[in-house]
Amino acid sequence: MTDCLFCRLVESGDHVLSTDEFVAIRDIAPAAETHLLVLPRRHIDTFRDIAAFPDDEAARMLRFVADAAASEELDDYRLIVNVGPGAGQTVFHLHWHVLGGKLLPGFH
């Protein structure tokens, strides 16, 4: 999808970590000391569509999220997936926020 910002970023090659299926990039407006976005290379609108994933693809995606955090040497981190506009999703390409670094506020 050429009109999808994240599809363009997936193709940009400016990745922290990448495989044939997934990429991790740095968020341009970080909400934590370390803030990565993990995206599937193929366009999927939202986490709500995870039911359409084959089980092994969903498992590989979760392993990649953990690998992205490990690549930044994060022992403690927060994962966030916004699902739909009411939850704050502004770009409709499935993505995980990986936030870590200094002690994160809230939800303790």
* Cβ atoms < 10 Å from Cβ of 20: 6
pLDDT tens column, 12-60: 878 999 999 999 999 999 999 999 999 999 999 999 988 777 778 888 9
Residue pair 55/47 in contact (Cβ under 8 Å)? The answer is no
Quote the pTM value. Answer: 0.89
Q: CA-CA distance, 34 to 70, in Å (whole number)?
A: 12
Top-confidence range, 7-11, 48-52, 101-105: 7-11
**CA dist 91 → 14, 74, 95 (Å):** 18, 25, 9
Query: 5-100 has which fold?
Result: HIT family, subunit A (3.30.428)
Whether residue 42 contacts residue 58, with contact meaning beta carbons closer than 8 Å, is answered with: no
Parse the chain into domains and list their residue ranges: 5-100
Q: Which of 35, 93, 95, 97 is catalytic?
A: 95
Mean per-residue pLDDT over the chain, rounded: 90
Is 95 one of the catalytic residues?
A: yes
Contact 37, 24 (CB under 8 A): yes
